[in-house]
């Protein structure tokens, strides 16, 4: 019988998201693939340092020990590396005791065609084209920032996974944000008041939030090890439509911050986000100073 991924939370993570490959990537970009391959072979037994998504992935894998099902999360390496150059990655996975057994090693080819085949719920990568293709395919994905200032190997006893989402163009579509960008704040607020009872359409991360909510519900009677937050520039009177949209989906967020111009960075730091998803670089750049952040591209057809 084939291994069934359809009932798991499947997270695809690139090698640069999981490990610090900044130096190795600079060799690839300046000297080419052969020099990169030679370097990786020469350092094959040398464990890579944790990368920006390391702590998050380790925390997600720990859910398998906390859940009665024992197999709620599956993490898959999804990389443009070849099997030859990726051997160091597997040695590093073993070194840190990460329970990651499966991989897509595309040898320079695009990753996107394989995401649906693995029932991927979330894809994290530093490769813009792969993330864009994932978003265009309807899969939650983020371009991770590799220039953050947080401790990539942090580990706290009893730590909950804290996931923060922007609203428009992330959990919701960008339909309302377009009004704001094209016509300004007053037109945006008028639109949201008029449509307060009309749910926003699902954005690229709606299904991922719903999958997280199902995991939270599975810890019925216990304190769930995941906590979510909506961190949005919306404020009253535009807050109501966002709240009613989530209600119409049958999901909740544990915390919500309607900021109306207040810095997201300080709120994310106070929340202790393990990852923050936003569609605008200005916010992910600032957030990366205090938390792991990923930018969510707009659909190509948008």
CA atoms within 13 A on the CB side of 138: 4
Cβ–Cβ under 8 Å, residues 258 and 229: no
Cα 209 from Cα 215, distance rounded (Å):
10
List of residues 6+ apart from 41 with CB closer than 8 A = 84, 85
Instruction: Assess whether 166 carries a catalytic annotation.
Output: yes
Q: Over the Cα atoms of the chain, what is R_g?
A: 19
Query: Choosing from 121, 130, 166, 174, which is the catalytic residue?
Result: 166
- Could you identify the residue written with the tokens 């065609």? 113
Q: Among 86, 88, 90, 3, which residue's Cα sits nearest to residue 43? A: 88
Query: Burial level of 254, CB count in 10 A (0-12/13-18/19+)?
Result: middle
Cβ–Cβ under 8 Å, residues 104 and 114: yes
Cα 3 from Cα 92, distance rounded (Å):
25
Tokens of 163: 């996931």
Cα 245 from Cα 223, distance rounded (Å):
25
Tokens of 203: 């954005």
Sheet arrangement for strand 275-278: 102-105, 73-79, 9-13, 122-125, 140-144, 293-295, 275-278, 161-165, 226-232, 255-258
Phi first, then psi, for residue 198 (nearest 5°) are -105, 110
Give the catalytic positions in this structure.
Answer: 166
């Amino acid at each position: 019988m084939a291994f069934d991924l359809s009932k798991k939370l499947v997270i695809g993570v690139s090698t640069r998201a999981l490990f610090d490959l900044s130096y190795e990537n600079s060799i690839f970009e300046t000297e080419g693939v052969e020099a990169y391959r030679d370097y990786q072979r020469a350092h094959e037994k040398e464990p890579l340092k944790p990368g920006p998504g390391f702590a998050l992935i380790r925390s997600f894998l720990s859910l398998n020990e906390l859940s009665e099902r024992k197999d709620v999360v599956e993490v898959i390496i999804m990389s443009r590396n070849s099997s030859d150059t990726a051997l160091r990655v597997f040695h590093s996975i073993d070194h840190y005791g990460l329970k990651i057994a499966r991989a897509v090693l595309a040898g320079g080819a695009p990753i996107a065609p394989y995401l649906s085949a693995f029932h991927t719920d979330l894809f994290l990568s530093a490769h813009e084209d792969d993330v864009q293709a994932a978003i265009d395919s309807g899969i939650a994905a983020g371009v991770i920032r590799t220039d953050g200032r947080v401790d990539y190997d942090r580990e706290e006893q009893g730590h909950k996974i804290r996931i923060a989402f922007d609203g428009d163009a992330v959990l919701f579509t960008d339909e309302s944000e377009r009004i704001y960008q094209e016509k300004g704040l007053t037109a945006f607020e008028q639109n949201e008041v008029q449509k307060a009872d009309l749910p926003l359409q699902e954005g690229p991360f709606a299904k991922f939030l719903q999958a997280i909510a199902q995991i939270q519900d599975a810890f019925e009677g216990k304190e769930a090890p995941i906590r979510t937050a909506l961190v949005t520039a919306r404020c009253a009177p535009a807050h109501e439509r966002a709240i009613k949209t989530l209600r119409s989906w049958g999901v909740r967020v544990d915390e919500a911050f309607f900021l109306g111009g207040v810095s997201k960075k300080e709120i994310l730091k106070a929340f202790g986000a393990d990852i923050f998803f936003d569609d605008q670089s200005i916010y992910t750049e600032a957030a990366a100073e205090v938390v792991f952040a990923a930018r969510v591209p707009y659909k190509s057809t948008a």
